[in-house]
Chains A and B, each alone.
Chain A
Amino acid sequence: MNSNTNFIDFVSKTTDKLNSNNDIANEFRLNNLSKLKQIGLPTHRKGNEEWKYTNLNKFTSINYILPVVETEDSNLKSQELSPKEFEVINIINGKLSKKNNINNSYINIKSSSINTLTTNELNKFNSLLGDKNEQMAILNSALCTDYIFINITGGNVKLLINFINSNNSENFILSNPKVFINIDSKSQLELIENHYGNKNSKYTSNNVLEIKINKQSNLKHYRLLEESENAIHTNTTRVYLDEKSKFKSFAFSKGAQMARYDLKVSMPHEHSEVELNGLYCTSGKQHLDNYINLDHIAPHCISRINYKGILNGESHAIFGGTVLVRAGAIKTDSRQTDKNLVLSPKAEIDTKPSLFIYVDDVIAGHGATAGNIDEQTVYYMRSRGLDLETASKMLISGFAMEIIDKVTINELNNYLIKTYINTLPSYKFDF
């Protein structure tokens, strides 16, 4: 019997336990469980391009215990990031903290663990981009203990959501945070999505975020991945853009033993703009997979994908970027690049930007690079008096700063310099 079957057994038992009479989400959970039983989890086999490099065996072969954190955990790593003017929401092991204190009338929150959600509201989950069989999202729906709705009803809102994982036991817990964010038309949202846990804490966190950006609205999104070094993190994020809306995203990835980020962006209306930036820094035996799907459906939309990786140790990073320009999407303007600095001979990068175009009148391009530090570049710097270590540090941090520099929130910028730049490895030259 393989670990997948055992795991689905576990899910099934867990879903049963989660059911209770006063939980209106029961039916939704059960529906998703039966769907999961039909379609299973993504498998790592030939021909499955989306999961070619990431094997979920590590995820499914663990004997999980249920996350039982009803009380707030006082041992939590203190959160260093608290930018001015940001409202803060804590989600602990997938459940909305009852201590959240929001002072902005443009933010409305509903949570199935606190409020009663209607069937209509629940059905919004998993349906944002049509009824696609997204296995990790369905798993999340089958095990989710709190369906969280956040409605931004206008204004210029700044919101930090801490996805905190807390486990002091020796056994792995599995949490399934699920958040739906609706941004009403003509609203601005700056969102920091911050995932973290205590240093050695053992957990798997399978997240789903669904974001609807309505007409003429604007989302600036910052995702920070700073999970524990034992953690397994999966995240399915779906973003839907309405007419003349903008989505600018930054994914900073650093922590987790293994992580998979699925970012699906759909542009079914005219004149929307997407810019996806990413920086991943891997070391040790980390495995980090970024998988982007960008769907150009309507004419006159713009997209940019701009990811960078710095790889060290025996780590393995994957970048998969699939941009689809459909037949109707004339005058699309789309570029994507993924650039990697591979600092250690044992580190491995698989980068696969791809572009599928089904219409003539478009501008589109893609490219990827992977290399280590160029000797002639370093020579130029040395010829000005800089030693090898200083020169290489300057180049590596310069490489990362190209992304960090674009972050316009001061506190976040400083935080990123502290956590990314000041901890960058130096390069061992063989010349």
Chain B
Amino acid sequence: MTNNKIILEIKNLNASVANTQILKDFNLTINMGEKHTLMGPNGSGKSTLANILAGNPEYIVDSGEINFLGQTLLDKAPEIRACLGLFLAFQYPVELPGVRMWQFLKSSLDSQREYNGKDPLSTKDFDSILNECAEKVDISQDFLKRNVNEGFSGGEKKRNEILQLTLINPKLAILDETDSGLDIDALKIVSNGIENFSSPNNSVLLVTHYQRILNYVKPDYVHVMIDGKIVKSGDKSLALELEKKGYDWLSKK
């Protein structure tokens, strides 16, 4: 699957939020076509990493490097990172009062197209793409008329993230606990969405702290993150081991 082209390279990254250092000499390389899973106990810094990658202004990089498709990300605004092909499915998707799904999705896609030198889609073309994507993640037409995430259930918000992933079709998808809080049907929809997205021309970083989703999404690598850095990497058998033993055996140095 791997064609050895590096999509993301994180080197000696130190980062903090609210004046507390969270990421400590963090290193990770992801090649095109690979699926990586990042696991770890609550508070280990997984979401911090995801936010640093997407460019959340609340999170500060103190030192280190992040290269994405051969360019540094550190000096780039979140919207530029998105246009370059980086996508984050939020652990806690944000409600946008008064902003309609349709309007939001169309503008998002058009902005990204414009940045990449493409014309905006006609309403008709967009509608047919959107409808196709919505069907895949079992989101109804009624939903598309609503305000973004407003009044959505937990599961609906997560499916909405997968809808956006499907529609935007980025180069790198970072999924922050998109599996948590889902019933089995929703978990299958979300997993299908990820598996359908995944191709030799893109990569996935799946952040989770349950191995449950790995019954559906098959990762090439599993990393364990504790206290701001990766302490162990392996293949998917590592996830099963974690399931049995928990994280304690890794944190005892």
Contacts and interface: CB of A to CB of B under 8 A. Distances in A.
Contact of A384 (B57, B100, B168): B168
B39 to A, nearest CB: 23
Contacts of A400: 98
Contacts of B100: 398
Nearest to A384: B108
A379 B56 contact: yes
B98 A401 contact: yes
B55 interface: yes
Given A390-B107, A394-B103, A394-B104, A384 B82 contact: yes
Interface stretch (B2-10, B86-94, B181-189, B216-224): B86-94
A395 B56 CA distance: 18
Contact of A431 (B57, B82, B90, B103): B57
Contacts of B115: 385
A375 B98 contact: no
Interface in A367-414: 375-377, 379-388, 390, 394-395, 397-402
A394 to B, nearest CB: 5
Nearest to B110: A385
Contacts of B109: 385
B54 to A, nearest CB: 5
- The listed residue with most B CB atoms (<10 A of its CB), out of A377, A381, A388, A394, is A381
A376 B78 CA distance: 12
B79 A382 contact: yes
Nearest to B103: A394
B94 A377 contact: yes
A380 B103 contact: no
B233 interface: no
Nearest to A400: B98
B97 interface: yes
A375 B168 contact: no
Given A379-B54, A380-B93, A394-B107, 16 more contacts: A375-B58, A376-B56, A380-B94, A382-B79, A383-B54, A383-B55, A383-B87, A385-B82, A385-B109, A385-B111, A385-B112, A386-B107, A386-B108, A388-B79, A398-B97, A402-B97
24 contacts: A379-B56, A379-B58, A380-B90, A380-B93, A382-B55, A382-B78, A382-B82, A383-B78, A383-B81, A383-B87, A383-B88, A384-B108, A384-B168, A385-B79, A385-B83, A385-B168, A387-B79, A388-B79, A394-B96, A398-B96, A398-B98, A398-B100, A399-B97, A431-B57
